[in-house]
Structure 1
Amino acid sequence: MLRTLRESGPGLLVPAAWLVAAAAHRGLVTTRSILIAHLVMVAFILFFLTTGWDEMNDRVLQGWRVVMVVGVPITLCGIAGFLVGSVATPLWAISLIGWMVLPAIGLFYTGMVLPEAAIIYVASGTLSIVGPIIYLLSFLLGVDLVAVGGIAVTGIGQTLGIGDAVLRY
């Protein structure tokens, strides 16, 4: 059961996280729910790290272990944003943009390590990088739906990558 959760869980958690992020951006999810999502996210990351650390010694999983280790403080920034209102916006931005970009690095790395899967991982990593660019452009354009589009592009890219990983593993 534990192994199944570690192997398949991210395939469900990644798209769910981006759906919730997009819904939150549109005001469809309460602030309290997003705080809970951050707490659950950090708990899951720590769970995956502690239960799978020794298994993450091959070249591909070593890269993802680094992504998760760096992801803990990024997620904690998001949590801190809920607790320290005076710096909430920059902390939430670090968390959101961090989770848009950090997995892209892991996806590109995976594409280098697995040449037989390079196309899917380079494509998913590229979408993960294009997403935050679109998101940041939304502030220049002043169009909120463009921001949601940026979140969606990132979510699609990361879902493609994790979907391939779940099927491949």
Structure 2
Amino acid sequence: MFRRAREFGPAVLVPFAWTFVLVAHLEVVSEYTVFVAHVVMGVLLAGFALTGYGDMQEGALRVWWTIIVVGTVVTACGAIGLRLEPSNASLLAVALFGWMVLPAVGFVDTGRRVHAGRWIYALGTAGCLVGAALYAGGLLGALEELRFAGLVLVGVGQTAGILDAAIRY
């Protein structure tokens, strides 16, 4: 059962995480709740990296294992940034943009290795990168709608890629 949770857990957790990010941007949840979410996610990522190490040492899985490890550090940056008074915008940006872009690396690598569903990984990559660009543009122009659209695009792109990987492979 634990192995099954590792295989299909990300397909549930990725869309949940991006939905939570959207809710946090709408200020529906408190900053402390976002901090707790970072801690929980960090623990889950570290546990996933430790328990998946033996199974994730070759091919695309090796790339994804590395992304999980780097993502654990990125998530810790977000948690630390939220606990500083006032919140540290640079550390929060590392966490947000890190998780927008890191999966794009895995999607590019996975897309190069597979034949069936290659287009899904191209869409996942595009969702990550275009979504991050839209979000950054929204920050520069102080356009909340653009930031929201960027987050939705990242979430949809990453969800498509992780769902395909969980179901197909």
Category of TM-score, reference length = shorter chain: over 0.9
TM-superposed CA distance for 1:87, in Å, is 5.7
Q: Which amino acid aligns with 2:2?
A: L
The answer for the alignment partner of 1:38 in structure 2 is 38
The answer for the alignment partner of 1:83 in structure 2 is 83
Q: Which amino acid aligns with 1:143?
A: L
What are the superposed Cα offsets for residues 105-124 of structure 1, whole Å, 9 maximum, x if unpaired?
A: 11111101113332111111
The answer for the alignment partner of 2:137 in structure 1 is 137
The answer for the alignment partner of 1:24 in structure 2 is 24
Question: Number of residue pairs matched?
Answer: 169
Distance in 2 separating the partners of 1:35 and 1:97 = 17
Q: What does 1:59-138 align with in structure 2 at a 5 Å threshold?
A: 59-86=59-86, 88-138=88-138
What are the superposed Cα offsets for residues 11-42 of structure 1, whole Å, 9 maximum, x if unpaired?
A: 01000000010111111111111111101111
Structure 2, unpaired ranges of 5+? none
Q: Which amino acid aligns with 1:26?
A: L
Structure 1, unpaired ranges of 5+? none
TM-score, L = length of structure 2: 0.95
TM-superposed CA distance for 1:57, in Å, is 2.2
Q: What does 1:3-14 align with in structure 2 at a 5 Å threshold?
A: 3-14=3-14
The share of aligned pairs that are identical, in percent, is 36
Larger mean CA deviation between 140-149 and 95-104 belongs to 140-149
* Cα RMSD for the two superposed structures: 1.2
Q: Which amino acid aligns with 1:37?
A: A
Q: 2:35·2:83 contact (CA, 8 Å) conserved in 1?
A: no
The answer for the alignment partner of 1:153 in structure 2 is 153
Distance in 2 separating the partners of 1:109 and 1:29 = 35
TM-score, L = length of structure 1: 0.95
